[in-house]
Amino acid sequence: MKEGFNMKMLILGAAGQISKMVTELILTETDHELVLYGRNLSSRISVKDPTREVIIEGDFNDQDKLKQALIGVDIAYLNDMSSPDATQAIVEAMEESGVNYLIGANVLGIYNEVAGAFGEWNTSMVGSTATQKYLKAAEVVEQSSLDYVILRLTWLYNQTGNEDYVLTEKGESFVGAQVTREAVARLITTIIHDSDKYAKTSLGVSEPDTDWAKPSFY
């Protein structure tokens, strides 16, 4: 999708913090339309522009609801890739609906790409079982027919105005112990406006100059 092209974007898990930030950026900086998908959304989020936002309440495993949400959509963002089964359901619904571009939020460490003291700390905090779930979900996406961007996010925090990030590619060592949700939201909006550049990538996302043994907030 190129700059100047008005699109419809589906946000899966629209009540998440990053999802809300992406929604705000899309509404204030573009004319794009949004489909906001998730459980019990009516009580968790508020619509600011009814002409551009539609809420669909549903589960990630509900194929019928997913296909309803995907009608007319150009690009989708999945806020949580912790469930391989849910990720598989979403991928299948997208493939059957002809929606070809998925941005998915995953975690660092799924490829054993985090070395040194920070890698050891991260493993001790996350555990191998959780990491394996995220890896399986990533493999579902990577083995699909979709154009995708997997975002391997380091440890998250909030800081208004801090949108700084650096990217590492699959196969490179992951560097950076933290990144703001604001930066991740900015990256997502950057990707949707230059989607061809990022297609079929798995990107490590961190804040510049945070090559530490653990995040500053731990």
Give a yes or no: residue 150 inside a domain. yes
Q: What is the C-alpha to C-alpha distance for residues 203 and 72, in angstroms, rounded to an integer?
A: 27
The pLDDT tens digits of the residues spanning 184-207 come to: 999 999 999 999 999 999 999 999
pLDDT band, residue 209 (cuts 50/70/90): very high
- Which phi-psi region, left, alpha or beta, contains residue 112 (left: φ > 0; alpha: ψ -120 to 50)? left
pLDDT of 5: 72
d(CA 195, CA 198): 5
**Does 216 fall in a domain?**
no
Q: Between 29 and 3, where is the model more confident? A: 29
Given a cut of 60, is residue 3 above it in pLDDT? no
Is residue 81 in a domain? yes
- Bridging pattern class, strands 166-169 and 201-206: antiparallel
Does residue 152 come out as left (phi exceeding 0), alpha (psi in the -120 to 50 range) or beta?
Answer: beta
Is 65 a domain residue?
yes
37 within domain boundaries: yes
pLDDT, the chain, mean = 97
Q: Which of 83, 33, 75 is nearest to 53 (CA)?
A: 33
How far are the Cα atoms of 117, 163, 190 from residue 184, in angstroms, in the given order? 24, 7, 10
| pLDDT tens-digit readout, 157-176 | 999 999 999 999 999 999 99
| pLDDT score for 95 | 98
Token couple for 58: 């549903």
Mean pLDDT of 41-66: 96
Q: Which domain holds residue 53?
A: 8-206
Indicate the number of domains in the chain. 1
Closest CA to 62 of 92, 18, 25, 95: 92
Pairing of the two strands 75-78 and 8-12: parallel
Distance between CA atoms of 99 and 138, rounded to whole angstroms? 18
| Residue 189 lies inside a defined structural domain of this protein | yes
184: domain CATH number is 3.40.50.720
What is the band of 27 on the pLDDT scale with cuts at 50, 70, 90?
very high
Q: The tokens of 56 are what?
A: 């669909």
**pLDDT band per the 50, 70, 90 thresholds, residue 28:** very high
What is the mean pLDDT of the segment spanning 31-38?
98
Q: Cα separations (Å) of 61 from 20, 100, 188, 189?
A: 22, 18, 24, 26
- Asked if residue 66 is part of any domain, the answer here is yes
Residue 217 inside a domain? The answer is no
